[in-house]
Amino acid sequence: AQSVTQLGSHVSVSEGALVLLRCNYSSSVPPYLFWYVQYPNQGLQLLLKYTSAATLVKGINGFEAEFKKSETSFHLTKPSAHMSDAAEYFCAVTRSGNTGKLIFGQGTTLQVKP
Amino acid sequence: DAEITQSPRHKITETGRQVTLACHQTWNHNNMFWYRQDLGHGLRLIHYSYGVHDTNKGEVSDGYSVSRSNTEDLPLTLESAASSQTSVYFCASGPDDYGYTFGSGTRLTVV
């Protein structure tokens, strides 16, 4: 079975500061991992995904995440926050391959202060 | 272009009524999922399907049902709507090179 824990339901950073959103996963099989972003009153948009290739994954809008098997983590980072990054971010896990439930964490709301 | 569409976007219904939310994808994905999103709970899996005539219960399946008669559609039915089912519902399909694709959501209010 898979599960995801996102540490911190709310994260606040200043514009230009580093963004770090934490995600730890549990999986009994090799996982695929995802980060999604949701802007207010919209659906979910894929930021990036890990599917057992490179452990450092680059996504859209300057975000990246590193898969660390030893720490069972997949933290999302961005060197410099922009006001437009304010949104809710979800980490999700599924098992590798083409079948598996996609399980989400509880989400982290990112606030960016001017 | 391929897409995944949900309808209706907004629905108000009365307690006890049967309600069906539609999800239609033209990606030709085998896997389809239904989630509900509630404040503080993230997205919780209701039902999912790995292909035609395959359906499985997720973590919050009580009071919901799905059927998969073709690749494109996975309708979600609330057998007897309850106020606790007021939520935003998302349908998703995948995976492919883009991961999983989500619909725009249906906001359901049960009064």
How far is it, in rounded angstroms, from Cα A43 to Cα A59?
18
A25 to chain B, closest Cα gap in Å: 15
pLDDT of residue B54: 96
pLDDT of residue A2: 82
Q: What is the dihedral of CA A82, A83, A85, A87, to 10 degrees?
A: 160
Among the partner residues A45, A46, A90, nearest to B43 by beta-carbon distance:
A90
Q: Is the pLDDT of residue B98 over 80?
A: no
- Would you tell me how many other CB atoms lie within 10 Å of the CB of residue B111? 9
Of the candidates A75, A77, A80, A71, the one whose C-alpha atom is nearest the C-alpha of residue A22 is: A75
Hunting for tokens 């395959």 — which residue is that?
B54
Mean predicted confidence (pLDDT) in B25-52: 93
pLDDT of residue B39: 85
Mean predicted confidence (pLDDT) in B38-67: 94
> Quick one: pLDDT band at residue A98, thresholds 50, 70, 90?
low
Q: CB–CB of B45 and A102 under 8 A?
A: yes
- Which has the higher per-residue pLDDT, A54 or A96? A54
CB pairs under 8 A between A and B: 51
Q: What percent of chain B has pLDDT over 70?
A: 99
pLDDT of residue B100: 87
A9: which chain B residues are within 8 Å (Cβ-Cβ)? 40
Average pLDDT score, chain B: 94
Q: CB–CB of A46 and B100 under 8 A?
A: yes
Mean predicted confidence (pLDDT) in B89-107: 89
pLDDT of residue B28: 92
pLDDT of residue B14: 97
Q: Is B27 an 8 Å CB contact of chain A?
A: no
Indicate the pairing of strand A56-58 with strand B19-25: unpaired
